[in-house]
Chains A and B, each alone.
Chain A
Amino acid sequence: MLLLDGLVKNFGALRAVDGLSLRVNRGEIFGLLGPNGAGKSTTISMAIGLIKPDAGSVTYEGFGSPTQPSVRKHVGMAPQTLAIYEELTGEENVVFFARLQGVNNPRAAAREALERVGLTARANDRARIYSGGMQRRLNLATAFFHKPPLLLLDEPTAGVDPQSRTNILELVRELANEGAAILYTTHYMEEAQKICDRVGIMDEGKVLVTGSVQELLAKHSKETLVMIDRPSGETRISTNDPLREVTTALEAGDVTGLRVERADLETVFLSLTGKRLRD
């Protein structure tokens, strides 16, 4: 559905996105996982035609390029910065954007979207008095009310309470099951691990690897990390058999601390970049 090919974007001397290519298929959640400043939002902006890439191309397969206004009918986006009118009610917000998109029955579409993000009870309150999590969910509702085949969600769970987060993650899964292609950016590896069918690990403008969570774990972080603290210092051991390493260490004595880190996307990121996802 979405095809990004060799995207490059420079801001002055800074190369924010550096030759990025990826494909998102229908019914699939593609997670773009990377630390702050990796270039995720810039990629989304290019994917929707808001920013012109210095090189490369964006194609919505079967529709064309998002720089054509008519093609933008088929995409929904939840920007990272909240984009809602605080003076309007939740419903008025969605209705407004639904009209802008040219939806047939904006009011019905708005009601349905609000229902799905759990805001029906507060639909007629002004967005100003919503909690952070509610504003985030409203922001999301304005992305999918028209059931577009492509959804671009830029950190849709940023700064929300656990309850809102659960609602949002479940909803995103449902939308994919209904057949949408979803590009989902996040810097929470737990989220990526939990809902993404495929993940692209991104750092400094480049996608380093792509694949399903299982594939990535298998390929880049086979081993479990065992960390043993001794008065002389910390020892890190990558191993396929953590139990044996721990037993050996304990038998040797003078162990003051012991941690076992199971392989996850965090360790994949660490092994690829030598950095932690969150610093």
Chain B
Amino acid sequence: MRVVLTIAAKDLRILLRDRTNAFFVIVFPLAIAIFFGSIFGGGSRSIPIAVVMESAGPVATDFANALEKDSTLSVRMLPTREEGDASVRLGRVAACVILPKTFDSDLEKAMAGSRAIIEVHCDPARQAESGLVVGKLNEHAMRAIVRMFTDPKINSKMLAQSKLALMLNPNMTSAQRERVSDVLESLQELFNERNREATAAAAETSVNVAGSVNGDSAINTVNGNTSATKKSASNTTENLNVPGSTATAPAAIDPFLSLPIQIQSSTLTNDSTEPPSTYAVTFPQGLAWGFVGCIGAFGAGMAEERRRGTFMRLLLAPCTIATVLTGKSLACFTACMTMSVFMLLVATLGFRVSVQNWPLLALAIAACSFAFSGFTMALSGLFKYEGSARSAGNAIVLVLVMIGGGTIPLTFMPPFLRAASQASPFSWAILSIEGAVWRGFAFTEMLPSLGILLFIGALGLLLGNLFIQKRART
């Protein structure tokens, strides 16, 4: 027993001798716990979306205002759908919501079977967030429909327009027309009555009064491009949660006239190509993990040389420390490049990932390799002992890849982590590779991420150099 205790005491003492180790045993788990706590815990978070209003009608305006007021969304209003799509492509927003030109006029003819469409163009790499966006849009569409039937200005115009559309519908017999017309007449009466009541009562209770739409008749969410005729809406109803729903359902009066607003979501496609395959979307993340491997292989390099005693020999070479470090970084750079080329071969040949822009991809991979070899050098200079260089290095990289690597959607992070993810080399690495593989980046669009990657690499080399110089001559 004494021997057991002696061994345990010795190991613990050694653990505590290396202060960085002690830090990672005690402080790091705490940091991780807080990190995940803040991700899965409460706190405000909002999904960045772009909204393009092509229609200037009252419903579209109200709809856009409602989106802007929604705290779970952070809306960026953009003038054209091209700009909206571009901001998705550049990774600035999770999705682009477009209210088309005919949005309001389509809605006015809702009773005649016309449907207003809201287009959502989602970032294929941000599926989780896009899902939330579509859910949110459903909720707001629901509210808009409720308003349509309760706002006197809108509903009387809507009935008039619908009647007109019915009269002009060549596919209906006059008997059918008459019947629908009757329905619309009595609906008009109902509305008039309700509107009088509503004006008499407090102004803003209207939502409650008519907030009665039950989901399966009001909304249809379509994934894909052309299912406007689909009648069932069973796939989105669980997202709809209108408070204070009561009995009557104006929109359900005529099953023939259901679904006035439809959310039509699609993944963003580049003009020239079909949407990227799943493998194309996950490939950049795969590469990021490859870089993690390279950092792991080289991150303890300096501490290793120190343990071997060869560190001193390297310092004695008739060259500057910077030269020695450059050589070491070159090894890391080469490893990163080789790994990338290998992964790329597997992706393109094995998984049929198609690359949109090969020259840009080459640039992106070179910039990433540079960034990570500089990063590795900084990491390597940070730690004195091999053990801590490995464990602490791995921990740091793990955190950076989690916050910057798309493992956890940005939206689920609290603001400080979202800001931190901008500093993670992995977020820029992934963006630049996605940009070349499927986001269709132009060279100028690639420049910011390339610049930041080069900056990270240079800064890493500089810091690594400083750390190591500082340790070299005592």
Contact = CB atoms under 8 A, between A and B. Distances in A.
B315 interface: yes
B4 interface: no
A104 to B, nearest CB: 14
Contacts of A52: 473-474
A134 interface: no
A50 interface: yes
Nearest to B314: A100
A97 B316 CA distance: 10
Interface stretch (B128-136, B305-313, B354-362): B305-313
A73 B474 CA distance: 22
Nearest to B310: A83
A232 B316 CA distance: 59
A49 B310 CA distance: 16
A89 to B, nearest CB: 15
A156 B181 CA distance: 108
B1 interface: no
B372 to A, nearest CB: 23
Contacts of B309: 79, 81-84
A83 B320 contact: no
A69 B308 contact: no
Give the interface size bracket for B toward A.
Answer: 10 to 19
B473 to A, nearest CB: 5
A77 B310 CA distance: 12
Given A51-B473, A52-B474, A84-B308, A72 B313 contact: no
Interface in B391-422: none
Given A85-B308, A86-B308, A77 B316 contact: yes
Given A51-B474, A69-B319, A79 B308 contact: no
Interface in A55-110: 69-73, 75, 77, 79, 81-86, 97, 100-102
A100 B474 contact: no
Contacts of A84: 308-310
Contacts of A83: 308-310, 312-313
B316 A72 contact: yes
B317 A79 contact: no
A4 interface: no
Nearest to B304: A85
A48 B316 contact: yes
A85 B318 contact: no
Interface residues of A, number: 24
A85 B304 CA distance: 10
Interface string B309-333: 1101111111110000000000000
> Which one of A48, A79, A83, A85 has the greatest number of beta carbons of chain B within 10 Å?
A83
Contacts of B308: 83-86
A79 B319 CA distance: 19
Interface string A247-266: 00000000000000000000
B315 A73 contact: no
Contacts of A48: 316
A48 B473 CA distance: 11
Contacts of A69: 317-320
A71 B317 CA distance: 10
A52 B474 CA distance: 6
Interface in B200-250: none
B316 A50 contact: yes
A72 B323 CA distance: 15
B384 to A, nearest CB: 16
A72 B316 CA distance: 7
A84 B310 CA distance: 6
A69 B320 CA distance: 6
Interface string A134-161: 0000000010000000000000000000
A102 B323 CA distance: 13
B328 to A, nearest CB: 12
A72 B317 contact: yes
Nearest to A73: B318
Contacts of A102: 318
B317 A101 contact: yes
B314 to A, nearest CB: 7
A81 to B, nearest CB: 4
Interface string B281-324: 00000000000000000000000000011101111111110000
Contacts of A70: 318
A231 B291 CA distance: 78
Nearest to A68: B318
A221 to B, nearest CB: 37
A81 B309 CA distance: 6
A143 to B, nearest CB: 9
A113 B310 CA distance: 19
Contacts of A50: 312, 315-316, 472-473
Interface string B171-204: 0000000000000000000000000000000000
A229 B207 CA distance: 116
A48 B317 CA distance: 11
Nearest to A74: B318
A79 B315 CA distance: 12
Contacts of B473: 50-52
Contacts of B317: 69, 72, 97, 100-101
A79 B305 CA distance: 14
A79 B306 CA distance: 13
B320 to A, nearest CB: 6
A85 B309 CA distance: 9
Contacts of A72: 316-318
A97 B474 contact: no
Interface in B418-474: 472-474
A6 to B, nearest CB: 19
Nearest to A11: B474
A133 B160 CA distance: 103
Interface of A: 48-52, 69-73, 75, 77, 79, 81-86, 97, 100-102, 142
10 contacts: A48-B316, A49-B316, A51-B474, A52-B474, A69-B317, A82-B309, A83-B309, A83-B312, A97-B317, A101-B318
Given A77-B316, A142-B313, 7 more contacts: A50-B472, A50-B473, A69-B318, A79-B312, A84-B309, A85-B308, A101-B318
Interface of B: 308-310, 312-320, 472-474
A-B pairs with lowest CB-CB distance, top 4: A83-B309, A81-B309, A100-B317, A73-B318
